[in-house]
A = this chain, B = another copy of it.
C-alpha cells in the first residue's frame, strides 16, 4: 500500500483536463469531461484553488482555470494540494505520531527516503503528462552516479 489516494489521482485528472482546455471552465463541465462525480469535483477544486494550482472566478460566468502554465505544475504540487504534505511514514509528519519513535533506528532514513521520492515527483509536470509517454520527457532521464 505505497499508494496515492483516489482523490489525488482525480486531482491530477482535473488539472490535466484544465490544461487541455486552456480556458474558463465550470465545475459541471469538468465533472462531465473527467467522469468524476460533481460533488467530488467541487471538493477537489477547492483543494486545488487553496493549493494555488487552479484559479477560480466566482459568480455568473465564473469557472476555473489553471493558475500557472502546465510546465510549472508538478505531480508533487498536485498531490500536496489534495493530500497535504507528502509523508511516507508517520514520523515524517513530525514528532509524536508514532509510539516507536524514541527507540526507532530508522527515523533519519525515512526522512531521507521521503525526500528522494518527493524530489522525484517534482521533476514530472503536467506538460510531461500531455506529451506522448512513449518518448519520455527530459525529467525522466535519470542517471545514478557513484559518489566519490
B-contacting residues of A (Cβ < 8 Å)? 1-6, 8-9, 12-13, 16-17, 34-36, 75, 79, 83, 86-90, 100, 103-106, 108-113, 116-117, 119-121, 123-124, 128-129, 133, 136-148
Docked Cα-Cα span, A110 to B129, in Å, equals 9
> Nearest Cβ distance between residue A48 and chain B, in whole angstroms?
15
Contact residues in B for A12 (Cβ distance below 8 Å): 106
CB atoms of B141 and A13 under 8 A apart = no
CB atoms of A146 and B138 under 8 A apart = yes
Contact residues in B for A13 (Cβ distance below 8 Å): 100, 104-106
Q: List 11 A-B contacts (CB under 8 A).
A: A2-B8, A2-B83, A17-B105, A36-B100, A108-B133, A109-B128, A116-B142, A119-B142, A138-B144, A140-B147, A141-B144
Contact residues in B for A128 (Cβ distance below 8 Å): 109
Picked from B6, B79, B129, B139, the residue with its CB within 8 Å of the CB of A2 is B79
> Nearest Cβ distance between residue A125 and chain B, in whole angstroms?
11
| 4 nearest A-B pairs in the assembled complex, by CB-CB distance | A108-B133, A138-B147, A141-B147, A1-B5
Contact residues in B for A146 (Cβ distance below 8 Å): 138, 141
CB atoms of A100 and B2 under 8 A apart = no
Docked Cα-Cα span, A72 to B89, in Å, equals 23
Question: A90: nearest residue on chain B (CB-CB)?
Answer: B6
Docked Cα-Cα span, A44 to B90, in Å, equals 19
